[in-house]
A and B are shown apart, each in its own frame.
Chain A
């Protein structure tokens, strides 16, 4: 079997999960992440408004 390189994209997701689990416990962390990843229009608009205000893209 040929050896494959693995491109991982979950370094960030794994770290996020570990940080949130450290604060809230793993079950709650997964719940928060699922909600954050829901990307529904209403939630997105809310987040967009907050971030535009406190952490605009040209300031990060």
Chain B
């Protein structure tokens, strides 16, 4: 083990884990390693098991730990990247496991969780992911693009000429305002499109007795 505490075993970079899941998620927020992804396992009783560290985009985990009955796997979304929510790949890993929960959290205070209910249908979840992976990604891209364009493209005529028209698809609320900067529009599009993803997860995953929750402290993506 090197001075960084990372133990390299085969293709895995393993790290020691201490404390509770809550403490772990809090301690790594804003910590020294916040620019890379870390995946950490806790037992059903809340005891830390082990962790793995990857790069800014992904982390390799030893699949043997996915067979721990009722364990929880959490991972961070690095602070220099747009993490979104749990990815379809995360769901696929979860469907193939014996874990009770998979979580993702970000430096900005969001956390996303998928829990298996008593009658969780993991094969059903696996099929849903396989069938919808491309569609979900396409929907996300469309939703993102639509929100970004709404936020940056001013109206060419009418009483609100020069302003942008923003429509909240859920509530139907229309807001007119001056066009956003491209970076502001990026953050708007993130919130808009991840929100659409959240709703799809909530609606569809419940059918297989999985409970999806998204907790957001601020409007920051």
Q: Is the CB of A51 within 8 A of B191?
A: yes
**Which of chain B's residues have a CB closer than 8 A to the CB of A54?**
166, 168, 175, 177, 188
CA distance A16 to B197 in the complex (A): 14
Q: Is the CB of B82 within 8 A of A47?
A: no
What string of 1s and 0s marks CB contacts (under 8 Å) between A3-28 and chain B? 11111111111011011101110000
Given contacts A9-B81, A55-B192, contact A60 B60 (CB under 8 A): no
A27 CB to closest chain B CB (Å) equals 13
Given contacts A48-B220, A55-B219, contact A9 B60 (CB under 8 A): no
CA distance A16 to B189 in the complex (A): 9
B36 CB to closest chain A CB (Å) equals 11
Q: Report if B6 contacts A (CB, 8 A).
A: no
CA distance A36 to B161 in the complex (A): 27
**Which of chain A's residues have a CB closer than 8 A to the CB of B188?**
47, 50-51, 54-55
CA distance A39 to B190 in the complex (A): 14
Q: Is the CB of A19 within 8 A of B145?
A: yes
Smallest CB-CB separation from B94: which chain A residue? A7
**Which of chain A's residues have a CB closer than 8 A to the CB of B148?**
19-20, 23
Smallest CB-CB separation from B181: which chain A residue? A35
CA distance A43 to B170 in the complex (A): 26
What string of 1s and 0s marks CB contacts (under 8 Å) between A42-60 and chain B? 0110111011111111011
Which residues in chain B, 164-207, are within 8 Å of chain A measured between CB atoms?
A: 166, 168, 170-171, 173, 175, 177, 180, 182-184, 186-192, 194-196, 198
**Which of chain B's residues have a CB closer than 8 A to the CB of A20?**
148, 186
CA distance A19 to B143 in the complex (A): 10
CA distance A35 to B216 in the complex (A): 22
User: Chain B residues in contact with chain A, CB under 8 A?
Assistant: 9-12, 37, 39, 57-63, 66, 75, 77-85, 87-90, 93, 104, 108, 137, 140-141, 144-145, 148-149, 166, 168, 170-171, 173, 175, 177, 180, 182-184, 186-192, 194-196, 198, 216, 218-220
